[in-house]
Amino acid sequence: MARGAAPQDRYHLVGISFFILGLGTLLPWNFFITAIPYFQGRLAEDNSTAENLSTNHTGTAPADAFNFNNWVTLLSQLPLLLFTLLNSFLYQCSIPETVRILGSLLAILLLFALTAALVKVDMSPGTFFSITMASIWFINSFGAVLQGSLFGQLGTMPSTYSTLFLSGQGLAGISAALAMLLSMASGVDAQTSALGYFITPCMGILMSIVCYLSLPHLEFARYYLAKKPSQAQAHELETKIELLPADEKNGIPNSPQKAALTLNLDSEKEKEPELEPEEPQKPGKPSILVVLRKIWLMALCLVLVFTVTLSVFPAITAMVTSSTSPGKWSRFFNPICCFLLFNIMDCLGRSLTSYFLWPDEDSRLLPLLVCLRFLFVPLFMLCHVPRRSRLPILFPQDAYFITFMLLFAVSNGYLVSLTMCLAPRQVLPHEKEVAGALMTFFLALGLSCGASLSFLFKALL
């Protein structure tokens, strides 16, 4: 595209702003699932069980009253499915991006401030559950609109800024796990510890608001964001297509919500030569059925990968406790070995596709590897989950759970990234946008299926 002399991003302020915006968009999801034991403690009949963000002094996780960990997963994914479609409707209604982005950020900030304030409010478990579930639903609804709108703006920017945005998102899960560990290790009382934990994402979202408001005052941002809406939408797919390899070199973020909004990313410059040169580009609008016939296997693999992941993480894995005697390790076991380990290893798995893509799209090994991940469901269910009535504990030692989590997280990250890379290889250049939309739908479907299955697997324990 012909441009005049583009201004410089002085002091990298625009890049830093989009990095912080990426971090702020996924802090709510990660802070909610990391604090599942805190919510379980608040929902217990005796609120005194909520002694810390994680476990009590005996190292025993609070009872999962109300099936909180299942509901938080389901109500976090259904808005993604609904509002990914709604975001397209918002574009058609010409609702300004500023309204969508600032409105979503302010709504998320207020709802998370409410969550932090509830730490100091005594109420019945049923009332607390209802308010928390409503907050989770609306926070993730606004989050889906926010991310889709920001990717629309990133479509007008150089692809490196999309990479910075996604890199910021990649730190959200690790930040939540580290914040929980610091809160637990602070030595303050339980209420102060929980309050400090939930104030942290509020500060992150507030920083995101400040960064977004600063963009119109930066010449570099004005130069790219001043495009007409039609131009912005035309170049959004081009930027997303160029994004994936650069993003993977920095580690793709691990959140399922982020992944659902970036599935149509692939390197057109690197992948295009692999298309058959004699196959001409078809004119007109691509057929959804034609594209679906080309990518159905990748879409199915994507559904199955996230179905397995969300069916046990965090619904089952958050219930696993250390089999060692009560002590510091038993208190820190789940935050470290479940949440922090998953986030780090998942990012590592996604970054591996920067170096090799195996197996390829024509290999039968890919669906086999995807199906083998179903073994993680019984493996985690047979780990050291104290509160169970049906299944025995076959893997009581901590080493078993840590090993399973390592393989579970790496395989999730790698297979998700692999299918994201391989799907656009199977379509023509003008079909990539449709392929991306279809893959986004099927991933959201997989997330919802996994969250729904978590209720069944929890009942089988």
Q: Could you state, in order of their start, the residue ranges of all structural domains in the chain?
A: 11-276+284-460
- Residue 301's pLDDT band, with cuts at 50, 70 and 90, is very high
Q: What is the pLDDT of residues 155-183, one digit of tens each?
A: 678 877 877 887 787 788 888 889 888 88
pLDDT score at 233: 45
Q: What is the pLDDT of residues 397-407, one digit of tens each?
A: 999 999 999 99
Q: Residue 356: pLDDT above 50?
A: yes
- Residue 27's pLDDT band, with cuts at 50, 70 and 90, is confident
pLDDT score at 117: 92
- Residue 427's pLDDT band, with cuts at 50, 70 and 90, is confident
Q: Average of pLDDT values for 330-334?
A: 90
- Positive or negative, the Cα torsion across 237, 78, 67, 41? positive
Please answer whether residues 257 and 80 qualify as being in contact, where contact means their C-beta atoms are separated by less than 8 angstroms.
Answer: yes
Class of residue 150 by CB neighbours under 10 A (exposed 0-12, middle 13-18, buried 19+): buried
| 0.85 surpassed by pTM | no
Q: Average of pLDDT values for 201-207?
A: 92
Q: Which residue has the higher pLDDT, 272 or 362?
A: 362
pLDDT score at 64: 64
Q: Average of pLDDT values for 126-142?
A: 91
Name the percent of the chain lying above pLDDT 70. Answer: 79
- Residue 98's pLDDT band, with cuts at 50, 70 and 90, is confident
First to last CA, the chain: 58
pLDDT score at 35: 85
Enter the tokens of residue 169: 């998102």
Q: Residue 437: pLDDT above 80?
A: no
pLDDT score at 267: 38
pLDDT score at 140: 87
Q: Average of pLDDT values for 7-36?
A: 88
Please answer whether residues 91 and 136 qualify as being in contact, where contact means their C-beta atoms are separated by less than 8 angstroms.
Answer: no
Q: Average of pLDDT values for 219-232?
A: 70
Q: Residue 87: pLDDT above 70?
A: no
Q: Residue 367: pLDDT above 90?
A: yes
pLDDT score at 235: 44
Q: Average of pLDDT values for 211-231?
A: 80
Q: Residue 58: pLDDT above 60?
A: no
Mean of the per-residue pLDDT values for the chain? 80
CA distance 190 to 183: 9
pLDDT score at 209: 95
pLDDT score at 227: 60
Please count the helices (runs of H) and the strands (runs of E) in the chain.
18, 0
pLDDT score at 339: 92
CA distance 415 to 180: 28
Q: Residue 238: pLDDT above 60?
A: no
Class of residue 277 by CB neighbours under 10 A (exposed 0-12, middle 13-18, buried 19+): exposed
Q: What is the pLDDT of residues 251-265, one digit of tens each?
A: 333 555 555 555 444
Q: Average of pLDDT values for 348-358?
A: 84
pLDDT score at 336: 93
Least confident of 51-60, 62-71, 90-99: 51-60
Q: Which residue has the higher pLDDT, 76 or 138?
A: 138
Enter the tokens of residue 222: 């004005």
CA distance 53 to 183: 8
Q: Average of pLDDT values for 26-41?
A: 83
pLDDT score at 429: 81
Least confident of 86-95, 116-125, 220-229, 376-385: 86-95
Top-ranked range on mean pLDDT: pick from 74-83, 351-360, 447-456: 447-456
Alpha-carbon distances of 125 from 122, 226, 452, rounded to whole Å? 9, 49, 23
CA distance 444 to 78: 8
Choose among 53, 33, 22: nearest CA to 205: 22
Select from 1.20.1250.20, 3.30.1360.120, 1.20.140.10, 1.10.579.10 the CATH code of 11-276+284-460.
1.20.1250.20
Q: Average of pLDDT values for 352-373?
A: 88
pLDDT score at 1: 42
β-pair partners for 7: none
Q: Average of pLDDT values for 297-324?
A: 93
pLDDT score at 92: 54
Q: Average of pLDDT values for 369-381?
A: 97
